[in-house]
Amino acid sequence: MNAGKEKNRVQYFDIARGIAMICIILGHLNNSLINRVVFTFHVPIFFFISGYFMNSKCGIKDYARNKLRTLIVPYIVTCIVIIILGTLKGFIQGDAISELGRWSYAAVYGAGDSYNEPFYIPGIGAIWFLWATFWGCIFLRLSLQFERHVRLGVIIGLFIFGYFSRQIFWFPLSIQAGACAVLFMYIGYIARNVKDNIGDLSAEAKTFGLVFAAVVWFFFMKDFQSFWLVHCDIGRGIVDVFGSMCACVIVIYISKMIEIKFRIAGKFLAFFGRYSLLVLCVHIIELDLFPWWMITGRLEGMGISGSGKLWFVIVGKLVADLGFAYIISRVAIVREVFGYES
What pLDDT shows up at residue 78?
96
What are the CA-CA distances from residue 134 to residues 44, 144, 240 (Å)? 14, 16, 23
Query: Within 13 Å of residue 314, how many CA atoms lie on the same side as its CB?
Result: 13
What CA–CA distances, in Å, run from 171 to 175, 176, 194, 198?
6, 7, 35, 39
In terms of DSSP H, where are the helices of the chain? Answer: 11-27, 32-38, 44-52, 60-67, 73-92, 96-109, 128-143, 148-165, 175-193, 195-199, 203-222, 238-261, 263-274, 276-289, 292-301, 306-329, 332-337
Q: What is the radius of gyration, based on Cα positions, of the chain? A: 20
94: pLDDT confidence band, cut at 50, 70 and 90? confident
Residue 153 has pLDDT above 70, yes or no: yes
Is the model's pLDDT at 102 over the cut of 70?
Answer: yes
From the centroid of its chain, how far is CA 155?
20
Q: What angle do CA 58, 176, 167 make, to 5 degrees?
A: 165
The Cβ of residue 41 has, within 10 Å, a number of other Cβ atoms equal to 28
Is the predicted pLDDT of residue 6 greater than 60, yes or no? no
| pLDDT score of 3 | 53
Query: Tell me: the pLDDT tens digits for 331-341?
Result: 999 999 998 87
Degrees, nearest 5: CA angle 2-51-31? 70
**Domain chopping of the chain, boundaries:** 43-289
The residue with greater pLDDT, 197 or 245, is: 245
Closest by CA position to 70, among listed 117, 12, 133, 150: 133
Long-range contacts made by residues 326-331, C-beta under 8 angstroms, separation at least 24? 326/271, 326/272, 326/275, 328/278, 328/282, 329/275, 329/278
pLDDT, position 342: 54
Assess contact for 83 and 169: CB atoms under 8 A.
no
Average pLDDT rounded to a whole number, residues 272-297: 91
Burial of 3 (0-12, 13-18, 19+ CB in 10 A): buried
**What confidence score (pLDDT) does residue 117 get?**
85
Average pLDDT over residues 166-190: 96
Q: Which pTM does this prediction carry?
A: 0.93
Q: Please answer whether residues 40 and 243 qualify as being in contact, where contact means their C-beta atoms are separated by less than 8 angstroms.
A: yes
Q: What 3-state class would DSSP assign to 115?
A: strand
In this predicted structure, the answer to whether residue 118 has a pLDDT above a threshold of 90 is no
User: What is the model's pLDDT at position 1?
Assistant: 66
Question: What is the separation of C-alpha 244 from the centre of its chain, rounded to a whole number of angstroms?
Answer: 14
Q: What pLDDT sits at residue 196?
A: 86
Q: What is the pLDDT of residue 82?
A: 96
Mean pLDDT taken over the chain:
93
Task: Find the mean pLDDT for residues 92-105.
Answer: 93
288 pLDDT band, cuts 50/70/90, is confident
pLDDT of amino acid 291:
84
Cα of 282 vs its chain's centroid, Å = 13
DSSP-derived letter for residue 6 is S
Residue 199 has pLDDT above 90, yes or no: no
d(CA 342, CA 336): 8
Per-residue pLDDT reduced to its tens digit, 304-332? 888 888 999 999 999 999 999 999 999 99
Helix (H/G/I), strand (E/B), else coil: 121: strand
> CA 217, CA 244: separation in Å to the nearest integer?
7
The string of DSSP letters for 237-263 reads THHHHHHHHHHHHHHHHHHHHHHHH-H
Whether pLDDT at 27 is above 60: yes
Per-residue pLDDT tens digits for 240-283: 999 999 999 999 999 999 999 999 999 999 999 999 999 999 99
50 burial (CB, 10 Å; 0-12 / 13-18 / 19+) is: buried
